[in-house]
Structure 1
Amino acid sequence: MAIELPIKLPFNLRLALRTKLILGTVIASVSGVLLSLLFLSEPVQEQGTQWGALALVLLATISLSWAMSYFVTRKLATSLMALEVGLLNFKDNDFSVSIPVSGDEQLSALATLFNESAASLRQERQYIYQRELLLDKVIQSSPNVMLLLDDDQRVIYANDAARHLFNQGVRIEGLNLTTLLESVSDELARALQNPKGGLFSLAGCDEGEDETWHLSRGQFLLNGQYHHLLLLKQMTHELNRQEVAVWKKVIRIISHELNNSVAPIASMVNSGRMITRELNDPKLKMIFDTIEDRTNHLSQFIFNYARFAKLPMPKKSVVDWHKLTEQLGQHYAFKLVGKLPESQGSLDLIQMEQVLLNLLKNAHESGSASEGITLSVEASTLVDGTSGISIEINDEGAGMSPDVLKQALLPFYSTKQSGTGLGLPLCREIIEAHDGRISLHNRDDVGLCVRVWLPQ
């Protein structure tokens, strides 16, 4: 098997292309002169007197051919040098250079092609750069937690949500995952140490409801090294919405079936009264009254549940906070804390009045004295810069146990003997339909605090 070895010339024999062309032209010219003298003249050995003339002819030929070659190839040398410099810039990822278009047609075409390639590469790099900026903006703005780790569990990339979850907003690139897990809850640490993804729960803040998270893992090969991608998505809100949607569907089906039965019963009671009117039997009247009373109660019961299941989308209008608080005070007593916002809100007045009346009603039923119930409405700005209105209702009642707090916003859950369990869930539906949020917290001293945040 033949092996070809590369042949390396000594440094002094490595000649530039232009030098080779000039030397080739000179050698060709001298060879032509010598051949002409050889075939057209007598032998030089017999013409000793012509050695001087021959030397002059050769010198003139060499000088003239060198000068002509140097003059003719000057454009070629300049173009090749410019092309070499441009390609070196390409090698350094610098596409801003362009070379002058000059020389003959072929050199001009080569320079034009180089410049077009440079422009195309500049445009492509700018497009890639803009896409990277857009992708980074999307990732950084995502509420999902994203972590990219290498094989040594070092953080290569993390978005803003990950920095806030693990290190209070401080950069975590370069840190080891084990170090980060030392400052998080045990539930989160166990979930991230599990090699498999899935759903897990974290305890809510301030005795609130538990938070449900979904962990997904991915692995890919980049630059010869495996990278591991961790995605954490909070599923609490989505699961709650799906749960409420299922409950609404069940309520609509039950309401429809019950209404189909209640309406004929009410009609038959009225018909029975008319038929037996002449009998004037007290027991029969008591039977009809009982049936009518329970039928009306069942109809009202169905209506309350159907109202939750068929909550319309909010029709927002301008709301005057001073006028709204005055209307609330006509139904339930409370103490207004702080100044009301000067700017008017944009809400569904009927739905929001229903929410606040329900919350004030719960505060009065908590065992708190009227003078211990306070209401505050003030402008508020979230961490991400979103402006809105913060409404807070405090009472001095018994508060809620941790178990009740976790389930207080779920449909059909009630601690009252005659409660329907739809008051707070209805408030939650209305507030979330306004893109807001509601939270319940036990106060440090006594009573319950209900916070409502609504975007402007």
Structure 2
Amino acid sequence: MMDDCAMTLRSKLILASVLACFLGLVSAGLLFNWLGQDYLVLIALLSLGLVWAVSHYMTRNLADCLAALEVGLLNFKDNDFSISIPVKGDEQLRTLARLFNESAHTLRRERQFIYQRELLLDKVIQSSPNVMILLDDEQRVIYANDAARHLFNQGVPIEGLHLHELIEACSPELITALNNPKDGLFTLGAKESLGTDIQGETSDETMNEDETWHLSRGRFKLNGQLHHLLLLKQMTHELNRQEVAVWKKVIRIISHELNNSVAPIASMVNSGRMITKDLNDPKLKMIFDTIDDRTQHLSQFIFNYARFAKLPLPNKSMVNWLKMTEHLSHHYKFTLDGSLPEGDGYFDLIQMEQVLLNLLKNAHESGSKVDEITMSITQANPSHGVDSASGNKGILISICDAGSGMSSEVLKQALLPFYSTKQSGTGLGLPLCREILEAHDGRISLHNREETGLCVKLWLPQS
């Protein structure tokens, strides 16, 4: 179609030129006969003027169209696609104007789509908990997301800073990992220091867990310049989940094998009692009682571990705080500190009562006086590392005692399965609490109080 239009426009231009020349020659002849040869210069000038006027008139639409196209293309060059040119003149020129306007509309739409996609991509990157930093070849920060700004500069923008400036105040482990050209896992050691608790206030001595991170690097060229991408991902929670999953699998296997042995032993003890009941031998009775007692103890031991390995998903429902606390006080005494939240809670009542009863039991066994054991339930923001970027609201439950507290070593390992400081403990009480809280998308943390005692804080997301 464009070839046909070009030929037609070309024919019209040739025809206009021929017609202008013909009119110029005719007018020159007429003027020569009228004025004579003494006025040749005037005749020539008048004839050229007539040729120019005719040519200008016949090509006026073409000139207007080309001028509009020139303005439009200059706007395209400046990335302005908002312009449209008038559709007028010959059919070929109108077709050209329509094609230009359609192209401008398409470019506007595409630019709007790209802009919206860039906004969406930036929103996703800024909301990601992973730390993302883009560096140029001189190791200066070109782009960083919100997680990177909070990790390295307390939320202050870091664009334009050199990487060495950025990490000079970081921990030695993080500096070593960032200076290492290889990808891989690294660990930031636990620190015992005055920190910020779940409510955002300065807390007493707090023990954080060791944090495991994964560092990956990428290199690519953009606009002829080499760029470097650093990605830091928090792996602590995921590795803890995998570790607990392995422990659960081991527990299920061991429980199955022990049950297969305990059940026949219990059955044989009952059969032995029936067979020897007429002998009335005290020693034989003591042997059977001992075997029966130990098999029951072993069955209870297996049941406790199997309960940890087969924890069901929470069946959440609306829970009245007053009724729940009154029910808990029937089992273990405590002092309710402050008022209860106005709205109901939303969680699995049976599982959360199991958590709170276990924590209250620990508080009573800590050596604390009963009247110094307190529980508070308030609305609060999560602690850093727990949905801090999203700023989700939640419920904070604190159980505090005035006992002996925990040493630094115990605080580090208290939430790990099978770790216990009690002679008869299974080491599953606090890990079970942690599993239940995390199944509710919540968190548990342990804090030594400033003077004496321990405070356990539970954070649950608000429905």
Structure 1 residue 197: deviation in Å? 2.1
Structure 1 residue 328: deviation in Å? 1.2
Letter aligned with residue 230 of structure 2: L
Q: Which stretch shows the higher mean deviation, 58-67 or 134-143?
A: 58-67
Letter aligned with residue 403 of structure 1: E
User: SS where residue 416 of structure 1 aligns?
Assistant: coil
Query: Hey, what does 1:442 align to over in structure 2?
Result: 448
Query: Hey, what does 2:393 align to over in structure 1?
Result: 387
User: SS where residue 375 of structure 2 aligns?
Assistant: strand
User: SS where residue 187 of structure 1 aligns?
Assistant: helix
Provide the rounded CA distance (Å) in 2 between the counterparts of 1:348 and 1:167: 39
Q: Percent identity?
A: 71
Query: Hey, what does 2:159 align to over in structure 1?
Result: 173
Provide the rounded CA distance (Å) in 1 between the counterparts of 2:58 and 2:20: 16
Query: Hey, what does 1:300 align to over in structure 2?
Result: 300
8 Å contact from structure 1 (residues 396, 446) kept in 2: yes
Structure 1 residue 102: deviation in Å? 0.9
* TM-score (normalizing by structure 2): 0.88
Query: Hey, what does 2:405 align to over in structure 1?
Result: 399
Query: Hey, what does 1:418 align to over in structure 2?
Result: 424
Counterpart selection for 1:453 from 434, 446, 459:
459
* TM-score (normalizing by structure 1): 0.89
8 Å contact from structure 2 (residues 141, 161) kept in 1: yes
Task: State yes or no: 1:89 paired with 2:75.
Answer: yes
Q: Write the mapping of 1:28-107 to structure 2, written as runs, cut at 5 A.
A: 28-29=21-22, 32-33=25-26, 50-51=36-37, 61-107=47-93
Q: Deviations over 1:101-141 (max 9, x none)?
A: 11111111111111111111111111111111011000000
Provide the rounded CA distance (Å) in 1 between the counterparts of 2:54 and 2:24: 17
Provide the rounded CA distance (Å) in 2 between the counterparts of 1:221 and 1:387: 42
Q: Deviations over 1:267-294 (max 9, x none)?
A: 1111121122222222222221111111
Counterpart selection for 2:132 from 136, 146, 159:
146
Sort the Cα spacing of 1:31 and 1:291 in 2 relative to 1 into closer, same or farther, 3 A: same
Task: State yes or no: 1:133 paired with 2:126.
Answer: no
User: SS where residue 452 of structure 2 aligns?
Assistant: coil
Root-mean-square deviation (CA, aligned residues, Å) is 2.5
Structure 1 residue 193: deviation in Å? 1.5
8 Å contact from structure 1 (residues 26, 66) kept in 2: no
Provide the rounded CA distance (Å) in 2 between the counterparts of 1:116 and 1:162: 43
Query: Hey, what does 1:10 align to over in structure 2?
Result: none
User: SS where residue 278 of structure 2 aligns?
Assistant: helix
8 Å contact from structure 1 (residues 96, 118) kept in 2: yes
Greater Rg, structure 1 or structure 2? 1
8 Å contact from structure 1 (residues 30, 62) kept in 2: no
Letter aligned with residue 266 of structure 1: A
8 Å contact from structure 2 (residues 17, 55) kept in 1: no
Query: Hey, what does 1:184 align to over in structure 2?
Result: 170
Q: Deviations over 1:324-378 (max 9, x none)?
A: 1111111112111111101111010000011011111111111111122111100
Provide the rounded CA distance (Å) in 1 between the counterparts of 2:113 and 2:277: 88
Query: Hey, what does 2:311 align to over in structure 1?
Result: 311
Q: Which stretch shows the higher mean deviation, 398-407 or 155-164?
A: 398-407
Sort the Cα spacing of 1:55 and 1:399 in 2 relative to 1 into closer, same or farther, 3 A: same
Letter aligned with residue 142 of structure 1: S
Sort the Cα spacing of 1:246 and 1:55 in 2 relative to 1 into closer, same or farther, 3 A: same
Provide the rounded CA distance (Å) in 2 between the counterparts of 1:414 and 1:49: 127
The runs of 5 or more residues in structure 2 that have no matched partner are 1-9, 192-205, 383-387
User: SS where residue 123 of structure 2 aligns?
Assistant: helix
Provide the rounded CA distance (Å) in 2 between the counterparts of 1:30 and 1:48: 16
User: SS where residue 266 of structure 1 aligns?
Assistant: helix
Query: Hey, what does 2:376 align to over in structure 1?
Result: 376
Provide the rounded CA distance (Å) in 1 between the counterparts of 2:273 and 2:65: 112
8 Å contact from structure 2 (residues 24, 50) kept in 1: no
Query: Hey, what does 2:5 align to over in structure 1?
Result: none
Structure 1 residue 63: deviation in Å? 4.2
Letter aligned with residue 349 of structure 1: L
User: SS where residue 195 of structure 1 aligns?
Assistant: coil
8 Å contact from structure 1 (residues 22, 69) kept in 2: no
Structure 1 residue 204: deviation in Å? 3.1
8 Å contact from structure 1 (residues 216, 230) kept in 2: yes
Provide the rounded CA distance (Å) in 2 between the counterparts of 1:429 and 1:291: 34
Structure 1 residue 65: deviation in Å? 3.3
Structure 1 residue 203: deviation in Å? 2.5
Provide the rounded CA distance (Å) in 1 between the counterparts of 2:70 and 2:241: 64
Q: Deviations over 1:390-412 (max 9, x none)?
A: 11111111111111111111111
Provide the rounded CA distance (Å) in 2 between the counterparts of 1:185 and 1:454: 31
Query: Hey, what does 2:253 align to over in structure 1?
Result: 253
8 Å contact from structure 1 (residues 30, 58) kept in 2: no
RCO greater where, 1 or 2, for CA within 8 Å and sep 6 or more? Answer: 2
The runs of 5 or more residues in structure 1 that have no matched partner are 1-16, 38-43
User: SS where residue 440 of structure 1 aligns?
Assistant: strand
